Every structure is written in structure tokens, then in C-alpha cells.
Amino acid sequence: MLENQYQYALPEAGCDEAGRGCLAGPVFAAAVMLPPDFHDPLLNDSKQMSERNRDKLRAVIEREAVAWAVEAVSAARIDEINILNASFEGMSLAVARLSPAPGFLAIDGNRFRTRLEIPYRCIVKGDGMYADIAAASVLAKTHRDEYMRRLDAEFPAYGWQKNKGYPTREHRLAIRACGLTPHHRLTFNHEIDQLEFAF
């Protein structure tokens, strides 16, 4: 069972992202503040949940959270500042939209930088330990998956309906056959250049 949040002295927001390891599409980041009595037996690290349960939880979280926000950082912005900084930027933008504002941030992972003047703690695998981080992981993942399904209708050759922009064999073969789209991250060119050696 997940602990509700990392600390209880200050109003806390859990933060997480989805899509860092993709070849295409934005990285999505979410920040969630849960009520202190929140509990749902389905809630876990989004990567450990089925798509159906993630979608169920998204509706519950968006309805019952004290505050929540999701931000997307585009492929072009990722190429400009790199994927790690884009993840930090997305989380900072999501936190800045929260009302009421949090007094503390619980960040999934081992690194974070922000211009926000809010104390924070980085927690490795925090999305499997704290409910507010897990809730943020669910929102980031479901919002990003929804976005990639919409892009798939425009670019069906790449299999984004299923692979969501991750570097699957199908996706890599489609890049080799069809080239890049405006939604591909050019900073992953070193991977794309090696496609012919990947099979």
C-alpha cells in the first residue's frame, strides 16, 4: 500500500513525467496534490498498471485531487534544451499551475532543477512508494498516450497507437522506410543513424 505523501508538514505535490525515452512526441509532466485521506487500491506506479486501470484512475484523480496540472514539452523544445531539462521544465510548469500552490514537492527520480522557490525532495522509484507521485505518473502517462493516439491518426505508418513513440522495432523500421516527421526528436539522430545495424 502506498503512503499518501512523503511529508505532512506542508501541502505537498507529487511530480512525475512520461515519455523521456521516446523517439517522437512531447514529454508530458504532471503535478498532483491529493487529499490526506485519498486511497484507491488500483493506484500504483503507472508502468505497473494496465491501460484500462490507468484510464479509470485518471478520472478518479482528476475528480478527487485537491489540485492537478499536466504540461507537455514539445519535441522541438526537447531538442533545444535536452530531454532531462525538458522533463524538469515540464514539472515546473505543471507545479506553477497548481491552485492552491504546494509548499513542498515530491519528485520521482534522482535529479531535479527548478526556478520555483519551493522545497523539494527527489525520490528514486517514488511512483511506487507515494500516492501523490503515483497519481502524477498516471496523469502524465494517460495524457501523453491520448496525445500520441491523436498523432497516430495523422501519421499512421509509425505505429504510435501502440508504441506511443517509443523505439520499438516497428517504429524504427517505419523511420527507415518513411523518414522523420515534425514530431520526431532530432536529438535522437544518433539512434536513428544506427537503424540499419539494429536488425
pLDDT of residue 199: 35
Indicate whether 194 pLDDT > 60: no
C-alpha cell at 57: 484512475
**pLDDT, mean over the chain:** 93
What is the 3 state secondary structure string of the chain?
CCECCCCCCCCEEEEEEECCCCCECCEEEEEEECCCCCCCCCCCCHHHCCHHHHHHHHHHHHHHCCEEEEEEECHHHHHHHCHHHHHHHHHHHHHHCCCCCCCEEEEECCCCCCCCCCCEEEECCHHHCEHHHHHHHHHHHHHHHHHHHHHHHHCHHHCHHHHCCCCCHHHHHHHHHHCCCCCECHHHHHHHHCHHHCC
Per-residue pLDDT, averaged over 55-64, amounts to 97
Which pLDDT belongs to residue 192? 52
pLDDT in tens, 134-145: 999 999 999 999
* 57-61, 104-108, 179-183, 186-190: the lowest-pLDDT one: 186-190
Mean pLDDT of 4-24: 97
Give the residue from 30, 19, 140 showing the smallest Cα distance to 75.
Answer: 19
Residue-wise pLDDT tens digits, 119-128? 999 999 999 9
Q: What is the pTM of this model?
A: 0.93
